[in-house]
Structure 1
Amino acid sequence: MISPDYCRLMARYNAWQNDGLRGLVTEMPREVYEADRGAFFGSIRATLNHLLWADRVWMSRIGDLDPPGGGIAESVEITRNAADWVAERYRVDGRIRVWADRLRAVDLAGPLTWWSGASGREVTKPRALCIAHMFNHQTHHRGQVHAMLTQAGLQPPPTDLFLMPQEA
């Protein structure tokens, strides 16, 4: 399904994409960052917070991060402002990259079992599927942020994987 090389590529892509958002987020007025734009989580801030929360949740299951606490409803409040988001996003992206760099094929095998607050029950799925889901979830919600940035009249950075610099 996936390989350690795929995970390293996607970890680099995730960090590159979030690096591109950092500048926009820190320079935009707070009203733009927090305005409800009709997306699933409402605002740019809430969507980015949910994504950060979810990355920490998944990395607590497959890596070595502590879970963030709270459920999906609380995920939108994981950071208070853009500066806090930038700092925590940078830290989590670094941890994802270190995890991916150390990954071996055997680490992708077997089941992963966890308590899912979203479904209200214990869930067991293939570990590789869960890891692929984490990367897909990142891309999904950054796509929502991209649309909200465009709606706000801002120029989001490119998202095409083939445009990622080799050094990212």
Structure 2
Amino acid sequence: MRRTTLHGTTILAAAVLLLMGCGTDNDAGQGNAGGRSSTVSPSPTPSTPAGPSTSPGACTSQVQLNADDSGRIICLTRGGQVRITLDGTKERPWKPVAISGSGVLRPINAGIVVMPGDANVAYEAIASGTATLTSSRPLCASPTAPGQVSCMGIQEWTVTVRVR
């Protein structure tokens, strides 16, 4: 019978790997998994340039939003632009982005559809005020054959835009 012993380097390597896992940024257990409710992002998202839009009370002139930005509140300067790119699929299409708060934002394009299921649109901030942008899509693809499972869930997307 062969006896196995752990060497110091094996223990050291295991300790290093264990410590590497500690301190990673993980959102697990922080609640509100669907979106952010603060007035600014906790940190810049890849789709939003860092800078004035991430400082409390500051407004920016350009913002790019995607599906991950649902729940955000952004601030635009008058004359600024917000561009929205919601990538969907033919089976799970985004509805066209709707706007509430008349007279605050004006569409720059009519909502270009690059791929079936996408919702892409850009708005210009034309007056001070608040507008809400919304869209939604099915959580599951519709059944393609009788007897397949379907769900009635809806993924909602909403962003509040304040113009100063």
TM-score, structure 1 normalization: 0.21
Larger Rg, first or second structure (1 or 2): 2
Which has the larger share of strand?
Answer: 2
Higher relative contact order (CA 8 A, sep 6+): 1
